[in-house]
């Protein structure tokens, strides 16, 4: 089982959008866990899928409201290095070029990678944002699923 994260600042409209996405996910094959807050700034909804190909323990999706543009939601895929995930470079090298890439090292010196779906920013004022958010999640999951399936087939221990 894999975990997907929705993230946003605790602003009324953003919170409303995330709540609607969470409610809509209950009508799909995705299951959710409740909101929780970190330092009273960040909200997360953890979303589990039953059969996603990205069932890797060092990966998740995030719908993100960027602080410099709180009116748009974007979808990111995050991967991170662990002390024994020798497949990290394989994942990075297999992902499609249609994703924007960022990389950094965390406090423990482990590498983290973030891919953002290009040109996939959803306006929170769009009346169809929930439908578009779910479609974006499904499409990206399908799009990166094949490359990741190759890594998972080589390393079955990656499956949850």
What is the H or E stretch that residue 114 is in?
strand 111-117
Helix (H, G, I), strand (E, B) or coil at 123: strand
* Whether residue 108 has pLDDT greater than 70: yes
The pair of structure tokens assigned to 87 is 């497949």
Q: Name the percent of the chain lying above pLDDT 90.
A: 2
Number of domains in the chain: 1
* Whether residue 157 has pLDDT greater than 90: no
In this structure, what CATH number is given to the domain that contains residue 65? 3.30.1460
Mark out the alpha helices in the chain (DSSP H runs): 12-25, 88-94, 129-154
* Whether residue 122 has pLDDT greater than 80: yes
Provide the pLDDT for residue 10. Answer: 47
Nearest to 116 by CA among 102, 105, 104, 134: 102
Q: Vertex 6, ends 141 and 111: CA angle to 5°? A: 75
* Whether residue 141 has pLDDT greater than 90: no
Domain extent, residue 123, equals 2-158
Give 28-35 contacts, CB < 8 A, sequence gap 24+.
28/134, 30/4
- Please state, in angstroms and as integers, the Cα–Cα distance from residue 108 to each residue in 81, 87, 112, following that order: 10, 19, 11
Provide the pLDDT for residue 76. Answer: 75
pLDDT tens, 13-50? 777 888 888 888 778 776 565 544 444 445 555 555 54
Q: How far apart are CA 144 and CA 101, in angstroms?
A: 14
Helix (H, G, I), strand (E, B) or coil at 11: coil
pLDDT tens, 46-97? 555 544 434 555 666 777 776 667 788 877 777 766 665 556 666 667 666 6
* Whether residue 127 has pLDDT greater than 80: yes
């Amino acid at each position: 089982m894999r975990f997907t994260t929705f993230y946003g600042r605790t602003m009324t409209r953003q919170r409303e959008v995330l709540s609607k996405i969470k409610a809509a996910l209950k009508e799909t094959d995705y299951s959710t866990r409740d909101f929780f807050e970190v330092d009273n700034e960040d909200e997360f909804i953890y979303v589990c899928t039953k059969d996603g190909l990205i069932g890797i323990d060092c990966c998740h999706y995030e719908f993100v409201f960027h602080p410099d543009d709180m009116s748009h939601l974007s979808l990111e895929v995050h991967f991170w290095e662990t002390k024994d995930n020798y497949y990290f470079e394989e994942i990075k090298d297999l992902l499609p070029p249609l994703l924007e890439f960022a990389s950094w090292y965390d406090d423990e010196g482990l590498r983290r990678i973030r891919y953002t779906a290009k040109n996939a920013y959803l306006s929170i004022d769009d009346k169809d944002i929930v439908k578009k958010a779910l479609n974006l999640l499904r499409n990206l999951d399908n799009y990166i699923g094949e490359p990741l399936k190759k890594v998972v087939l080589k390393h079955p221990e990656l499956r949850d």
